[in-house]
Structure 1
Amino acid sequence: MKFKYILSVIAIVAFTQNTFAQYSQDAVRFSQTTTGTTSRVKAVGGAGTALGGDLSNVSGNPAGLGFFTRSEFSITPGYDNNKTEANYLNNKTTTTRNNFNLNNAAIVIYNQLTKPAGADKNKGWLSANYGVSFSRTNNFNQNIRYSGNGATSINSYFASQANQFGIDEGSLAGWAYDHNLIDAYALTPTTSEYRANNVSSTAQEAIYNRSGSQSSVDFSVGANYSNKLYLGFSLNFTDIKYNSFNTFYEDGNVSVIENNTPPPVTRAYSSAYSQNQVTTGTGFSAKVGVIYKPVEAVRLGATFTTPTFYNIDDVYYESLSSKVGSNTTNNSASPDYQLNYNLRTPLKLAGGAAVFIKHFGFITGDVEYVDYGTTHLSSNNNYNADRIDNPEIKGLYKSAVNARIGAEARVNSFFLLRGGYAIQGDVRKDNGSDIKTVSGGIGLRFGQYYVDGTYAHSSGNQNLFPYDIGASSPAAMLRNTSNNGYLTFGYRF
C-alpha cells in the first residue's frame, strides 16, 4: 500500500502558511462521471452505445438520434439510497443517506430532410435530428461514520506535519503544539523532533457529511444515412457542486508539563479536528459517435469523448478544538482559503453492439476505456500542481474498463421487461474495488405515451485512511451500497 500518498481525513489536507491543499483525489472524483440515461437504458445496465432511438442518445451516443422518426420528450426523476458500512479497528458502524433528484430530462426534434421528387426516400441522408438534455452524472451525497479504540493517534500526524513544516503560528502543527497535543523531544543535546504526547491508547470517531452532484447539459445532432449509417456530434456543458464537512474526534491521555514545572503529569484530553470544503466548477467537452447496421438485426456503435476542461473554485478551512485535563478548551481555526484552478479529465472511448430479435426484444452490451492516470491539474501563480498532485494522480490511479450488458423482452405491445449488469472498473491501484451494479425494470406503452421504471443496486469497497503516519496508518474498510429507483415519463409527438 502506498501509505505515503494517502491524504488525511478527506481529499484535501491542511492548507496553511506552511502546508498546501492537495487536490488529486478531487480531480479523479470529478472524472468518474456516468452518462445520463433514461430508465430504459438504466435497466439494461446502461448499455446504450449501440441502441439508438432512445433519448439517452442525447447525452450518450449522439449518432442514435438518427433513428428517431418522431419528436420525443421525457423526464426521469430518481431516488437514491446510499448506505456505508464501516469496519474500523474491529468496530462496525452503518450510516445511510437518501435524496430525490431530477436524474434526466431530454427532448429530440425530428427533422426529415427533403429529397428531390422521384428520389429513393430510403437512400442518402434521410434526417438530421436535434436534441437537448439535462443529466445528473455524479452523486456525492454520502454519510460516513466510523469509530474504534486504537494504539495510534492523530497527534502523531500533527507531529509529522511539525517535523516537515514547522510550528509557525496559524499552522495545523502550531495549533497542536499550542494545545499540548505534541511537543519537541530531545534526540541529542543539540537536536530534537516533534512527537505526540500520548501515553495510552485512544478512542476515535470520524464523521463525514458529503453532498452535491455533477450535472451536464448536452446539445446533440444525429443524422441518418440510408438507414445503415448513423453519425452524431454533441457539445456538453458540465457543472460541479461538492460540499464536504468532516470531523475527527479523539480521546486519550497525554503527558504534559503544567505551569512550566517538571515533572510531566498525565492528563486526559479530547480533541476534534474539522475540515470543510466547498467546491464549484464548470466545464465543457465534445463527443462524436457512430452506429452502423451491417444487417437489419445488428447494430454496432462507438463514441469518442474528449477530455472535460474544468475551471474550479475551491474554498477550504480547518479547525482544531481540544481540552487537556481541567484546562479551558482551546479553539483554533483557519481563515477561508480560496483557490481557482483548471482540471482536465481523461478522454473516453466506448464501443458496443446490439442484436435485435425481430419484435421480441434485444440484447446489448458495451465497454468503455478511461485512463484516470491522465487526469491533469494545471499550475498557476498560487498553486503548483506538479509538486505533489499530478505525481500522486499517476502514482495512485490507473486505467479502468467499464463493461455493461443488458436485455429487453417485449412481452406484448403494452408491457416490456428489462434487466442488466454493469461493472465500473476500479480506478485505484490500491485500496479499492470494482463497482458492480445489477438492474431491472419494466416498460409500459400507451400509444404516444410511455412509462419506464427501473431499480438498480450497486456495491463496492474502499479503504479510507483518517490520517497518514506511514505503515501504522489505521484504515476504515468501507462497503458502499446504493439502491436507486428511476421513473421515466415520455411522450412522442
Structure 2
Amino acid sequence: MKIKYILSVIAIVAFTQNTFAQYSQDAIRFSQTVNGSTSRIKAVGNAGTAVGGDLSNVSGNPAGLGFFTRSEVSITPEYDNSKTKAGAYSATRNTVNLNNAALVIYNQLTKPRGADKNKGWLSVNYGVAFSRTNNFDQNIHYGGSNNLNSINDYYASQANQFGLGPEGSLIDAAYQQNLIDKYSTGPNPSDFEYRSNNISGSPVAQEGFINRRGGQSAVDFSLGANYSNKLYLGFSLSFTDINYDSFSTFYEDGSLSRLEGTPPVGTTRDYSSSYAQNQSTRGTGFSAKVGVIYKPVEAVRLGATFTSPTFYNIDDTYNEGVATSINKEAVTSQNSGNYTLNYNLRTPLKLAGGAAVFIKSFGFITGDVEYVDYSTAHLSSNPDYNADKIDNPDIKGLYKSAINARVGAEARITSFFLLRGGYGIQGNALKDNGSKIKTASGGIGLRFGAYYVDATYAHSTGNQTIFAYDLGNASPGAMLRNSNDNAYLTLGYRF
C-alpha cells in the first residue's frame, strides 16, 4: 500500500520504561461506548431514548420501564464480521458474543378503593440487564515501501531524548542489535548523537499486523415509574467492565551499515527486524443515569437522559521487544519484560434527547441526538504515573466534542409481522484525522402471543489512521477503511 506521511496525533504506545505508554488513546477508546439494546432498537438505528416499553430501556433511558404493564425477559446473541482494508492489504475477524440480556419486573401500585386508576403514580417497575457496550475485536494488516525514514530513526530519536535506558529496554535492544549507533557531530568528544545505521536514501519495506481482542460490558440495575400515563421517570446504576488485549508486530526489511573487520569498516548489509508490542488492560467502573419521557399528546413521546461520567479503576500490563537478523545471520532478540500500571479514568458525561411519534397501531418514527465531549476525559495521576505531563494535555489538544445522531422507524405489517429500519452517525472524536462512523440497519419482528422473535442486520463503516511509530511530521501513517457487519437475534417472553 501507499503509506501517507502525516502528522502523528496518535503515536503508538510505549517507548521507554519511564514513558512506555500514551494512555490518552485508551481513555478515548474506553469512552466510545453505546447503550446495550435489543434487536428491535438496533434495527431502528438504536434510537430508543423516547420509545419506551422495550427491554433496551434498562440500559438506555430507564424512564421507559414505566411503560411496561407485564413482566418481560429476553436474550440477544450477536454475530460480528469485522473487515479492515489498507490499500492492497485486508484483514477480517469473526466473533459471536452475547450482546444483551434483560429482565423487567412489572410492579403495579395499589390504589384506594374508588380512586382513579389512571391518575397519580401507577407503577414502579424494576429491571436488570447485561450489555456489551463496546467491541474491540479487530485484525489489521498494512504495509508499503518507505523511502523517507525507518523505524530505526525512531529508535535513534528516543535514544537522543531518553538515553539507551536499562539493559533489555527497547532502545538498548536497538543499539545492541546494530540498528542504531552513536555518531560524532563535531570536534569535541561531547559532540555526538544517536543515528540510524540505515543507508541514506535506501528505501525500506514495512509491514504491520495488529490483533485486538475483547470488549466492554455493563450490568445495569434500573427502575422506572409511571405517573398518570403522562410522565415517566427513571434511574439506573451501571457497573462496567473493560477487557482489552492488543498484539502488534511491525516488520521492516532494508539495508544498513555495520562495522566489520579490523580495523572496523562500515559494510553494507541487508537486515530484517521486528518490533512487537503486547498490551493487556482490565478495568472496572460505575456510572449513573437519570431519564424522563413525557407524552404531551398520546401519539408523541419526548425523552431525555443524563449519563454521568464512568469512573474506572484500570490495571494495564505492557511489554515490547525487538528481534533482528543482519546478513541472514541468527536472529538476536530482546524483550523488555512487563511494565505494569494501575490508574483511574473518568470518561465524559453524556446528554441525549429524542422524540418518537406513534401512528396509532401502525408503527412509529423515532430520532435521537446525543452529545459527548471527549476532551473532558481525565486520567488521574499517582506516585507511579504523571497523567498531567503528556496524556491529559493530549486529550484536551487532540480530541473534541461530538454529536451522535440516530433515526429509525417501525411498521406493523400484520398483527404478528413488523418491519424496521434505521440509520445512525457516531461523531468523530478527533480534531484531525479519523471519521464519523455511519451505520445502516434493518430488521423484522415476529409476535406469537407471549413470545416474540426479532432479527436485525446492521452495516457500519468508518476510517481511521494508525501510525507505526512517532517521528513528528514524518511519521508513516496508514489509512484504514473499517466496516462491520452485525447480525442480532432477540428471543423474548412476556409474563
Q: Same fold (TM over 0.5)?
A: yes
What SS does structure 1 have at the residue aligned with 2:264? Answer: strand
Q: Write the distance in 1 (CA, Å) between the matches of 2:20 and 2:111.
A: 63
- Which range is displaced more, 318-327 or 279-288? 318-327
The 5 A counterparts of 1:208-223 are 208-223=210-225
1:341 to 332, 340, 343: 343
Deviations, residues 344-368 of structure 1 (Å, cap 9, x unaligned): 0000000000000111100000100
8 Å CA contact 1:19–1:165 kept in 2: the answer is no
Deviations, residues 96-131 of structure 1 (Å, cap 9, x unaligned): 000001000000000000011000000000000000
8 Å CA contact 2:367–2:408 kept in 1: the answer is yes
8 Å CA contact 2:8–2:477 kept in 1: the answer is no
Paired position in structure 2 for 1:246: 248
2:143 to 136, 142, 147: 147
1:103 to 92, 99, 102: 99
Paired position in structure 1 for 2:64: 64
Deviations, residues 372-412 of structure 1 (Å, cap 9, x unaligned): 00000000011111110101111111100000000000001
C-alpha displacement of 1:259? 4.7
8 Å CA contact 2:456–2:488 kept in 1: the answer is yes
C-alpha displacement of 1:261? 3.0
Q: Normalized against structure 1, the TM-score is what?
A: 0.97
Paired position in structure 2 for 1:196: 196
2:129 to 133, 137, 146: 133
8 Å CA contact 2:6–2:475 kept in 1: the answer is no
C-alpha displacement of 1:416? 0.3
> Which 5+ residue runs of structure 2 have no aligned equivalent?
none
> Which 5+ residue runs of structure 1 have no aligned equivalent?
none
Q: Write the distance in 2 (CA, Å) between the matches of 1:390 and 1:192.
A: 34
Q: Write the distance in 2 (CA, Å) between the matches of 1:440 and 1:300.
A: 23
The 5 A counterparts of 1:242-281 are 242-259=244-261, 261-281=263-283
Q: Write the distance in 2 (CA, Å) between the matches of 1:66 and 1:143.
A: 42
What SS does structure 2 have at the residue aligned with 1:287? Answer: strand
2:471 to 456, 460, 469: 469
C-alpha displacement of 1:188? 1.1
- Residue identity matched to 1:70: R
Q: Write the distance in 1 (CA, Å) between the matches of 2:65 and 2:247.
A: 42
Q: Write the distance in 2 (CA, Å) between the matches of 1:254 and 1:409.
A: 66
Deviations, residues 54-106 of structure 1 (Å, cap 9, x unaligned): 0000000000000000000000000000000013xxxx211100000100000
- Which range is displaced more, 442-451 or 326-335? 326-335
Paired position in structure 2 for 1:166: 163
- Which range is displaced more, 234-243 or 144-153? 144-153
C-alpha displacement of 1:260? 6.3
1:6 to 7, 10, 31: 10
Q: Write the distance in 2 (CA, Å) between the matches of 1:276 and 1:326.
A: 26
Q: Normalized against structure 2, the TM-score is what?
A: 0.96
**Count of equivalent residues:** 485
Paired position in structure 2 for 1:185: 183
8 Å CA contact 2:467–2:478 kept in 1: the answer is yes
C-alpha displacement of 1:5? 3.9
The 5 A counterparts of 1:414-453 are 414-453=416-455
8 Å CA contact 1:361–1:409 kept in 2: the answer is yes
- Residue identity matched to 1:96: T
- Of all paired residues, the percent bearing the same amino acid is 71
2:226 to 224, 240, 244: 224
C-alpha displacement of 1:258? 1.8
- Residue identity matched to 2:456: T
Q: Write the distance in 1 (CA, Å) between the matches of 2:144 and 2:299.
A: 58
- Residue identity matched to 1:6: I
8 Å CA contact 1:65–1:131 kept in 2: the answer is yes
Note if 1:359 corresponds to 2:361.
yes
- Residue identity matched to 1:23: Y
C-alpha displacement of 1:327? 3.9
- Residue identity matched to 1:421: Y
Note if 1:23 corresponds to 2:23.
yes
Report the RMSD for the aligned CA atoms in angstroms.
1.2
Paired position in structure 1 for 2:36: 36
8 Å CA contact 2:63–2:224 kept in 1: the answer is yes
Paired position in structure 2 for 1:74: 74
